[in-house]
Amino acid sequence: MARILTLFLTLILASTAWSQDTSLRRLETGEDSKGWGAVGRLEIGGRGFCTGALIAPDLVLTAAHCLFHRKSGARIDVDKIEFRAGWRNGRAEAYGTVRKAAVHPDYRFGGATGTERVVNDLAVLKLHHPIRKSGIRPFETAGRLRKGSKIGVVSYAIGREQAPSLQQACRVMGRQQGVYVMSCNVDFGSSGAPVFSFDGDDVRIASVVSAKADVRGQKVSLGTGLGSALDDVLDALSRDTVAVNRSVGGAKFVKP
């Protein structure tokens, strides 16, 4: 898998001169966070965290691999996951417990190879109660991104887990088989973070952070495209079917 993914990234990077953008703005106050309250920290069983974002008052979009134990590959019980919208400095603007979750039907934790591990790395969590609070507005989703598209990411990560950071100046470096290669600055904990497209004042989620990688000294981030893949996850959720995956292995981030 590493060889396939490395080759894919090398081909993408060979056609671009972009390097990873590193400018981050910490959203530490209510004023800083205005408009971003629907992004939150996902607490995973008290052992780790990911990032997620509301796409409806009761639906949180994140990465599928966040719902699996890193070592055993077992699914994490949804009652051990909590969504903390707008989490910063020890408090959240709203808290949500999870009633059920669905991952992409073709996602196999630790079992996929190459870009397949990233392209299907999507999950949606349904909360027990919708979050309806002034200042927390769920995001709409966008269609396909193009090479060179300006994008932004709001995420939590190691070293910045107590408040989200906004990066509003990264780009899509390439796309293949539903996987975006991006110049965005991500780290452990950024899994599931929303990747935003900007069209005037219209801000929509166009991808979800799945992994980070380092190819020949160039740091990149990998994102999952939405479109029909998200429709598949929402369909699974509506049918109340949650695929149980018993494969083992895998990692929180893919490093070629």
Tens of pLDDT, residue by residue over 18-61, are 555 557 889 988 888 899 999 999 999 877 999 999 999 999 99
Model pTM?
Answer: 0.86
How far apart (Å, rounded) are the C-alpha atoms in residues 8 and 118?
Answer: 12
- Write the pLDDT tens digit of every residue in 119-150: 889 999 999 999 999 889 999 999 889 999 99
The string of DSSP letters for 113-182 reads -TTHHHHT--EEEEESS---BTTB-PPPB-----TT-EEEEEEEETTEEEEEEEEEEEEEEEEETTEEEE
pLDDT over 70, % of the chain: 82
| Cβ neighbours for 162, distance < 8 A, ≥ 6 positions apart | 87, 88, 89, 90
| Tokens of residue 94, six digits | 């709203």
Whole-number Cα distances in Å, 103 to 179, 201, 224, 236, 242: 17, 31, 13, 8, 7
Is it the case that residue 15 has pLDDT exceeding 60?
no
The string of DSSP letters for the chain reads -HHHHHHHHHHHHHT---------EE--STTTTTT-TTEEEEEETTTEEEEEEEEETTEEEE-GGGGB-TTT-PBPPGGGEEEEET-BTTB-SEEEEEEEEEE-TT--TTT--TTHHHHT--EEEEESS---BTTB-PPPB-----TT-EEEEEEEETTEEEEEEEEEEEEEEEEETTEEEE-----TT-TTPEEEEEETTEEEEEEEEEEEEEETTEEEEEEEE-THHHHHHHHHHHTT-----------SS---
Whole-number Cα distances in Å, 224 to 57, 118, 169, 173: 22, 6, 19, 14
- Write the pLDDT tens digit of every residue in 193-235: 999 998 777 899 999 999 888 767 778 899 989 989 999 999 9
Second CATH level (architecture) for the domain 2-238: Beta Barrel (2.40)
